[in-house]
Amino acid sequence: MLTLLNLDNLQIALQAERTTQIKNGYLLQGNTIILLHPFEQTRFYRHGWHSWSLTSWIPLPVQLQKPQPEIRWPMIDHPRLLMDYPLTSSGVGALQSPNGKILLLGCLGLDGYVSADNATLRGVYPYAAPGQQCEWFLAYGEEEQVFAAYADQLGQRLGVRCREHPPRVWCSWYGLYGDINQGILLEVLANLSGLPFDVFQIDDGWQACLGDWRANDKFPNGMAWIAENIQQAGYTAGLWLAPLAVAPASSIFQQHPDWLLRGEDGRHVPAGHNWGDFFYGLDVTHPEVQSWLYDLIETVRSWGYQYLKLDFLYAGAMPGVRFENVPAEQAFRNCLEIIRQAAGDAYFLACGSPIFPAIGLADALRVGSDVAPYWDNPERTINLHDLTGVGSLNAIRTTLHRLWLRPLIDVDPDVAFFRTRFNLMFPEQNRLLQDLAHIAGFRATSDLPAWLDPHERQALFEFLQTNPQIKRLDRHRFQINQRLVDFSFIEDVWQV
């Protein structure tokens, strides 16, 4: 049905099955929504599929090419979004009006897409069954208010799970990377004494293999023993796992090839390449996988871990043929419900995770790509067109554009750095990551206390100890206590 809307003096022609006005916008029904907009040259808010996927306002028409090589795609974004990169968006898209207001179209389900060109904004649920109710939210107005109204609608459908003060985390990854062992972690633990962390989280490097979630020989006393040490030191013990990703070398891959997701051609679908090989995703609709997963989370909790960083989760949400014929994002959300149940009151941080299906189930979401003790990797950003590459600049860009999720779920911007040792960033760059952590309300670091001079240790102490007043001034500018923090530089990427 064609509807003409007058949104605060903006005339819009809209194709939808039903249009209902509500307090801060409109609810639309329909598998496909087509909307004519008058903006021509403008900016498009593009939202990537999972934690690391590019999320940003992008100039339209856009110059950005597809990231190369394509084999890396699942780690960058949903393969479907490759078709019209970057002008197709996962879940929500928006356009900017010359007067600064925005026009937002967002799905209220799990797997809608929004795309834009110079005349239209379109929404589609490509995986909906015939007759399925497909719901959207449409609003026009000031950016912050429109996103807040959208978040509110999402929260009513998917649930809300956020805290005023998320835990303060020491995470092993961005200091030691895979080079962890029980000795070095105990040493760090002892040196952290006096710093107000809530969680001591062991990252990638403890496991026998991706899929074989038992301690490797760098942890001869086992994972329960180290959790006990962490608790005795006064912290919640945290552990990283990638429970839905499986390496070919794992026993699960060898013994249960039928547990893995397959493509239409019957072959296992690679979910990415890391740890020196391809890895694959589990078929989360398979009953045996579900009980294995429940047991895994229960086991990890029985070892004493009450903070779970579950990573590479998108591997379980890849398109493919499943045991049960359930759309991928719904299958994935059902799986997160199982994880949620098994996790009980443990804090569950979803990383490398599709965003929408995690709302209401995970406690926190990583909302950007990985930071690093360097600003940017131009070879990957410029030459390979990959704005999800590891580095602080890319991480800041995507996190900044996902802060609107904050009323729904804790948002993890990744760690901040206080060390100058083993760090290529300038002090101002370190400061920006620290500021973003305050803005997001989630504070973490991977700095080894032994690397910090007294000054840096004091800065870390204050970072953890204080809750500054935050005021958002506009899209890129914030006031932190009395200080102005300006992230406009993230737009520079569009000048090249």
Q: What residues are labeled active site?
A: 311, 370
> What is the token pair recorded at 464?
């953890």
- Non-local (6+) Cβ contacts of 89 within 8 A are 44, 45, 46, 47, 48, 81, 113, 114, 115, 116
Q: Which residue is nearest to ligand 9PG (CB)?
A: 204
User: Out of 29, 181, 231, 274, which residue is the one contacting ligand 9PG (CB under 6 A)?
Assistant: 274
Q: Which residues, 6+ apart, have CB-to-CB distance to 386 below 8 Å?
A: 67, 68, 72, 76, 380
Q: State yes or no: residue 204 binds ligand 9PG (CB under 6 A).
A: yes
Binding of residue 447 to ligand 9PG (CB under 6 A) = no
370 in contact with ligand 9PG (CB under 6 A): yes
Name the residue nearer to ligand 9PG (CB basis): 14 or 76.
Answer: 76
Q: How far is the CB of 184 from ligand 9PG (least distance, A)?
A: 17
Closer to ligand 9PG by CB, 370 or 456: give it: 370
DSSP 332-386: HHHHHHHHHHHHTTSEEEE-S-BSGGGTTTSSEEE-S----SSS--HIIIIIS--
- What gap in Å lies between CA 357 and CA 354, rounded to an integer? 6
Strand duo 477-480 + 470-472: pairing:
antiparallel
| Among residues 135, 198, 311, 410, the one that binds ligand 9PG under rule CB under 6 A | 311
Least Å distance, CB 203 to ligand 9PG, is 5
Running DSSP on this structure, what letter comes out for residue 64? P
Task: Write down the residue that tokens 């800065």 correspond to.
Answer: 459
387 is a contact residue toward ligand 9PG (CB under 6 A): no
Residue type, 279: F
In this structure, the chain runs to a length of 496
In contact, 368 and 403? CB cutoff 8 Å:
no
CA dihedral 380, 381, 386, 387 (to 10 degrees): 140
Among 135, 143, 203, 410, binds ligand 9PG (CB under 6 A): 203
Residues 6 or more apart in contact with residue 412 via CB below 8 angstroms: 166, 349, 351, 364, 365, 366, 367, 440, 442, 444
Q: Is 240 in the site for ligand 9PG (CB under 6 A)?
A: yes
Q: What is the residue whose two structure tokens read 């101002």?
A: 428
Residue 217 CB neighbour total at 10 angstroms: 7
- Is residue 85 within the footprint of ligand 9PG (CB under 6 A)? no
Q: How far is the CB of 351 from ligand 9PG (least distance, A)?
A: 5
351 binds ligand 9PG (CB under 6 A): yes
Measured CA to CA, the distance from residue 128 to residue 191 in angstroms comes to 53
Nearer to ligand 9PG by Cβ, of 75 and 149: the residue is 75
Residues 16-55 that bind ligand 9PG (CB under 6 A): 52
* Pair 407, 155: CB distance under 8 Å: yes
Residue 141 or 316 with smaller CB distance to ligand 9PG? 316
CB of 273 to ligand 9PG, least distance (A): 8
364 is a site residue for ligand 9PG (CB under 6 A): no
Output the smallest distance, CB 342 to ligand 9PG, in A: 20
DSSP conformation letters of 153-197? HHHHHH--B--SSPPPEEESHHHHTT---HHHHHHHHHHTTTS--
Are the CB atoms for 90 and 124 separated by under 8 Å?
no
Residue 177 Cβ vs ligand 9PG, minimum distance, rounded to whole Å: 8
Smallest separation (angstroms) from ligand 9PG to the CB of 465: 24
Nearer to ligand 9PG, 274 or 299 (CB): 274
- Smallest separation, CB 210 to ligand 9PG (Å): 10
Nearer to ligand 9PG, 108 or 395 (CB): 395
Considering the complex, state which of residue 124 and residue 350 has its C-beta at the smaller distance from ligand 9PG.
350
Q: How many residues in the shown chain lie near ligand 9PG by CB under 6 A?
A: 11
Instruction: Report if residue 75 touches ligand 9PG, rule: CB under 6 A.
Output: yes
- Site residues, ligand 9PG (CB under 6 A): 52, 75, 173, 203-204, 240, 274, 311, 351-352, 370
